[in-house]
C-alpha cells in the first residue's frame, strides 16, 4: 500500500497568485513525478525527479517549477496562476532501479484540483 | 518510441455483464512492464496490476482478469459480473526507462 499525500485537495484561486502544491511520500522512494490531467482526459507528465537535487521536465511543457530538497518532498510551484492552469495535478512516486524482480510501479496521491478564476 | 493505444473511449454495460477493456502497446524494449490503473470519480489513480514482459501467464484476481499476449502486443483487462462500483476510467500503461507511458483511458459506466 502506498503512502503518498497531496495538499490541498481542492484550490480555487485568483489570477496572478503564487501557489505551491505539496506532495510528500513516506516510502523512501527515489523517483517522484507530477502529472497534469484535465477532467476525463489522459495524463501528461510535466516534471519528474530521480532523487534529491534532481529535477527534469516531462513530456508536456509547463510553466510550473519543482524542487527536490528532501527525498520525501516534491512541491510544485506556479509563480503566477492563470485560468489556463486550471486542471488536476497528480503526484506519484516509485522505487528506483531495474533490479531483477523489481518494477517501476508508480503510486499516486489523491490529486489536487486547481481552479484559477 | 513507446505507445499505448486504448481504442475504446467509453463503454457502458448493465450490472452483472462481463466487460473487456483493450490495450495495445508498442515498444522496442525487450524488458518492460505493463500496468493497469483505475481512476474512480474521486480522482486518484489506483494501481491494479503489473505484468513483466517475460511472464505471459494470465492472471485472475477476484472478478478481475488480465490476458497478456506478446504476439499481438496486447494486455487486455476483463471484469466479470461488473458492479456499479467498477464505474471509473481505466488506464493501461507501459514502462520505459524511468517513465511510464499511459494510454488515453477508457471510461466504463456500469448501470444498475
Up-side HSE of residue A84: CA atoms within 13 Å toward CB? 5
Nearest to A106 among B31, B44, B100 (CB): B100
Task: Give the mean pLDDT of B76-102.
Answer: 91
CA distance A55 to A45: 13
Residue B71 in grid coordinates: 504476439
Task: Give me the phi and psi of B86, to 5 degrees please.
Answer: -80, -10
Residue A74 has pLDDT above 80, yes or no: yes
pLDDT in tens, A13-69: 999 999 999 999 999 888 899 999 987 788 999 999 988 999 999 888 889 999 999
Q: How confident is the model at residue A103 (pLDDT cuts 50, 70, 90)?
A: low
User: Which residues of A are less than 8 Å from B32 in CB distance?
Assistant: none
* pLDDT-based confidence at residue B58 (cuts at 50, 70, 90): confident
- The three-class DSSP label of residue B93 is strand
Q: Which residues of B touch A48 (CB under 8 A)?
A: 98-99
Interacting residues of B28 by C-beta distance below 8 A, sequence separation 6+: none
Whole-number mean pLDDT of chain B?
92
Look at residue B77 in the predicted model and tell me its pLDDT.
96
Distance from the Cα of B97 to chain A's closest Cα (Å) equals 9
CA atoms within 13 A on the CB side of B2: 19
Query: What is the C-alpha to C-alpha distance for residues B88 and A53, in angstroms, rounded to an integer?
Result: 36
List CB contacts of B16: < 8 A, sequence separation 6 or more: B81, B82, B83
What is the C-alpha to C-alpha distance for residues A77 and B110, in angstroms, rounded to an integer?
38
Confidence of residue A98 (pLDDT cuts 50, 70, 90): very low
pLDDT for A1: 55
Residues B19 and B82 sit within 8 Å (Cβ to Cβ): yes
The per-residue pLDDT for range A80-89, each reduced to its tens digit, is 999 999 999 9
Provide the chain A residues 7-26 that lie in CB contact (below 8 A) with chain B.
none
pLDDT band of residue B57 (cuts 50, 70, 90) is: confident
* CB A107 within 8 Å of CB A92: yes
Tally Cβ neighbours within 10 Å of residue B18.
Answer: 12
User: Helix, strand or coil for residue A85?
Assistant: helix
pLDDT for residue A105 is more than 90: no
Question: Which pLDDT does position A101 carry in this prediction?
Answer: 35
Distance between CA atoms of B19 and B35, rounded to whole angstroms?
Answer: 18
Q: Which three cell numbers stand for residue A16?
A: 496572478
Residue of B nearest to A41 (CA): B104
Amino acid at each position: 500500500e502506498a503512502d503518498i499525500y497531496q495538499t490541498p485537495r481542492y484550490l480555487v484561486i485568483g489570477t496572478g497568485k503564487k501557489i505551491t502544491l505539496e506532495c510528500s511520500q513516506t516510502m523512501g522512494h527515489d523517483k517522484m513525478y507530477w502529472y497534469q490531467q484535465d477532467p476525463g482526459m489522459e495524463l501528461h507528465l510535466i516534471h519528474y525527479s530521480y532523487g534529491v537535487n534532481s529535477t527534469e521536465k516531462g513530456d508536456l511543457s509547463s510553466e510550473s517549477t519543482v524542487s527536490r530538497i528532501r527525498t520525501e518532498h516534491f512541491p510544485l510551484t506556479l509563480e503566477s496562476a492563470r485560468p489556463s492552469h486550471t486542471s488536476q495535478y497528480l503526484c506519484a512516486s516509485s522505487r528506483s532501479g531495474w533490479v531483477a524482480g523489481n518494477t517501476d510501479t508508480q503510486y499516486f496521491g489523491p490529486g489536487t484540483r486547481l481552479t484559477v478564476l | 518510441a513507446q505507445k499505448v493505444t486504448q481504442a475504446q473511449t467509453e463503454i457502458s454495460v448493465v450490472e452483472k455483464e462481463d466487460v473487456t477493456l483493450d490495450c495495445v502497446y508498442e515498444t522496442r524494449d525487450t524488458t518492460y512492464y505493463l500496468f493497469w490503473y483505475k481512476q474512480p470519480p474521486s480522482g486518484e489513480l489506483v494501481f491494479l496490476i503489473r505484468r513483466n514482459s517475460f511472464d505471459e501467464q494470465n492472471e485472475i484476481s477476484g472478478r478481475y482478469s488480465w490476458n497478456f499476449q506478446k504476439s499481438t502486443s496486447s494486455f487486455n483487462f476483463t471484469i466479470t459480473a461488473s458492479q456499479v462500483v467498477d464505474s471509473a476510467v481505466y488506464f493501461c500503461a507501459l514502462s520505459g526507462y524511468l517513465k511510464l507511458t499511459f494510454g488515453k483511458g477508457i471510461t466504463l459506466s456500469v448501470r444498475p
